[in-house]
Amino acid sequence: MQLTPLSETINRFRQGGFVALLDRPTREGEADLLVAAEHVTGEKINFMLTNARGLLTLAIIADRLRELDIRPIEPRYYKENCPAFTEPVDYNPAVTTGVSAFERAATVRAIIDPTTEPEDFMRPGHVFPLSADPGGLAAREGHTEGAIALAGMAGLYPAVCMCELMAPDGHMAKGEELFEFSREHDIALASTVQIVEALRAKG
């Protein structure tokens, strides 16, 4: 499967484009559709929900979650590679039910807004933050950490909306299905392996 050159992926991501990010074939071998939080709009979230079909989450650094008192959900009976979910939230000033694509976009933008306060967010809500491992890809080579690393390479705020890519038949998209999705929608296709190798080369 042909991946997009990482430099092109970073440039597209910086400008607000989508990226499909694969993890290692030996881990899950699946992809998440990403867009940087600072470029999120209702239209982009609607595209993700319609075309990627998975659960919409927000990868973000743990420090910001602590600032907003968005607390981790204690994992129980979990399997390997379990993401670090926190309590889901809605941004009170901008939502009714909180579930529309546009209201979820408003919540995402509020989470990265330095002027918002913990009490601005209702818990539980409809945006699911995932806390990135502070050790980054060196500590956990997941989509969450890969997305945050990509944001860093692009010079963007370390928060990224993600949605798992499912095939039209309801199974997870893999292999050629991912390439066809990328080609059909003109979306960059990257991998955590690319990012890890680039970070190592940079030193």
So where are the chain's domains?
6-202
DSSP annotation of 166: B
* CA separation for the pair 165, 145 (Å, rounded): 17
pTM over 0.75: yes
Q: Are strands 159-165 and 89-91 parallel, antiparallel or unpaired?
A: unpaired
Over range 83-104, report the average pLDDT: 97
The pLDDT tens digits of the residues spanning 32-85 come to 999 999 999 999 999 999 999 999 999 999 999 999 999 999 999 988 888 999
Pick the more confident residue, 25 or 172.
172
Helix (H, G, I), strand (E, B) or coil at 168: coil
Q: Are 147 and 160 in contact (CB under 8 A)?
A: yes
6-202 in CATH: which number? 3.90.870.10
pLDDT level of residue 24 (50, 70, 90 thresholds) = confident
Residue 26: the pLDDT is 65
Q: Are strands 19-22 and 53-61 parallel, antiparallel or unpaired?
A: unpaired
